[in-house]
A and B are shown apart, each in its own frame.
Chain A
Amino acid sequence: MQSVSMFSVKKIRADFPILQKKVNRQQLIFLDSTSTSQKPKQVLQAINEYYENYNANPHRSLYKLCEKATELYENAHEDAAKFIGAHGKAEIVFVRNTNEAINLVMYSWAMNNLKAGDEILLTLMEHHANIVPWQFLQKFGVKLKFVKLDDSGTLDMDDFEQQLTKEVKLVSLTHCSNVLGTINDVEKLSKLAHDNGSLFLVDAAQSVPHMTVDVKKIDCDFLAFSGHKMLGPMNIGVLYGKSEILGKMEPFMRGSDMIKEVKLTESSWNDLPWKFEAGTPNVEGAVGLSAAIDYLTKIGMEEIQKHEGRLTEYALEKLSTVDGITIYGPQNGIKRGGIISFNLKGIHSHDVAQILDDFGIAIRSGHHCAMPLMKYLGIQSAARASFYLYTTKDEIDALANGLQKVNQVFK
């Protein structure tokens, strides 16, 4: 769909009921969209409308409601396919979230295709969701390797190429780091992986919500993302997989709706993507995701990325003036996502976040589900501010002021 609207943060904000609320008697300043995004009324209304008018269990019956519920559920797959440039719904498996999508690949693909001595190449900037599932394979003799980062927090490409040995059967890495904001050149990495005969999985939880992502251009074999980080509801996520690979894979969860025929002691599997979607599906999530995709598409992913780029540049400059601050991740004009992790000297990130909350400012603190990265950076935890299409410059100013106040409390 063509982007039709002029980008207006003011207009966008009016669509988000929660952004009009007060927290601690202060106007909410939400700077934690990397954890989860807020939802526009268009998404909330779509979910409501589904329950008020069409609620039924899809793929089950022939009455009108079921027909409509089925249509909505299947169309949501098509919408997601279109949004990331996939061929169609056969390549779009609905899961609960990115974490589950990666588990699906681990259980259905890796468990059946890898053997002792095979290797999986990850990086030091991965979220736990792209580390812990793979660790399970170690007991079968599969080895995990991690690509190092350089000082700016980008991937060390020499190390990547060195570690990409013949034993590596899968390269699995994040498109955009949820801590450093680093954007990895997935097209280039995908080519290197394929030249080596390895499959390539992209954790796109932080990229699909914020930029145009095209699975054909990346030429990835798998790509995973979550609906709730892109204005949709929680508990709906997507695993994209090339249909020729998904087609050969074993099912993940087994039971109803994922079958073609069931006999007492054997069953055959449904077509893609339903083979991977056992049990009553999350129709409300699918409907909400569709509405979110529609909302983002109308505004335009390029516009959103430009807006976040401007904010990030401004925030990096503004925050660098805060006393005692250390900012992690790429700086000096290197392209990065709207995610800024930092620490104030002598103050724990929890305390930073807690005091900012008094001013209505919501940021994340802790290890960001990236404990190995924290260790690599030599820190226990960090504070993190992140931006989305509804974030304003004023909010970044408020953050900078808030941080000075945190400094005063601990002076």
Chain B
Amino acid sequence: MSLDLYGENILEHFKNPVNRGILENADATAFEVNPLCGDELGVRIKVNNGYIVDARFFGTGCAISQAAVDILLEQIKSRSVQDAAVLDKDKFLKTLGIELSALRLRCALLGFKALKIAALKILSQR
């Protein structure tokens, strides 16, 4: 049942996101759009010595995309940009603890893709 999707963890991150906001002086920004719904999600990261010292997301989206990116950014802070660039999709999805249909996967991975692009932007600058 999809009601399982909307467990406490997901709803909590959706209603009270920790990492939502505009990050000033970010080192990289990336957007992803979900063509299914038109949702736009942006991720901004701040980097120091190759490590992500801060990360924030902005834009609108469904509970799944918003909660997923909030959880993701929580995981990625203080890890290296390299880590973020090669982050494993399936491992990340597992940490969400929900089962997603093919269509909803796009929602859950919207922020994931944006973060990867942001990380790759940093790496390509070097």
Contact = CB atoms under 8 A, between A and B. Distances in A.
Contacts of B11: 409-410
B3 A381 contact: no
A348 interface: yes
A38 interface: no
A350 B38 contact: no
Interface string A320-352: 000000000000000000000000000111110
> Which bucket holds chain A's interface residue count?
10 to 19
Given A354-B104, A355-B6, A409-B6, A349 B37 contact: yes
Most chain B CB atoms below 10 A, which of A351, A354, A374, A409: A351
Contacts of B60: 348, 380
B107 interface: yes
Nearest to A380: B60
B45 to A, nearest CB: 24
Most chain B CB atoms below 10 A, which of A349, A350, A357: A350
Interface string A370-394: 0100100000110000000000000
A365 interface: yes
B1 A24 contact: yes
Contacts of B2: 354-355, 357-358
B63 A348 contact: yes
A367 B37 contact: yes
A350 B107 contact: yes
A354 B5 contact: yes
Contacts of A365: 37
Nearest to A406: B6
Interface in B1-21: 1-3, 5-6, 11
A352 to B, nearest CB: 9
A351 B6 contact: yes
A53 B98 CA distance: 49
Contacts of A358: 1-3
A365 B87 CA distance: 30
Interface string B67-107: 00000000000000000000000000000000000001001
A350 B62 contact: yes
Most chain A CB atoms below 10 A, which of B2, B11, B37: B37
A197 interface: no
A351 B40 CA distance: 16
A350 B1 contact: no
A247 interface: no
A95 to B, nearest CB: 23
Contacts of B64: 350-351
A24 B107 CA distance: 22
Interface in B36-62: 36-40, 60-62
Contacts of A367: 37-38
A366 interface: yes
Q: Which 8 pairs show the lowest CB-CB distances between chains A and B?
A: A348-B62, A367-B38, A350-B62, A366-B37, A381-B37, A351-B63, A354-B2, A380-B60
Interface of A: 24, 347-351, 354-355, 357-358, 365-367, 371, 374, 380-381, 409-410
Given A350-B107, A355-B2, A374-B38, 5 more contacts: A354-B5, A366-B38, A380-B40, A380-B61, A410-B63
17 contacts: A347-B63, A348-B62, A349-B62, A350-B62, A351-B63, A354-B104, A355-B2, A355-B6, A357-B2, A358-B2, A358-B3, A371-B38, A374-B38, A380-B37, A380-B40, A410-B6, A410-B11
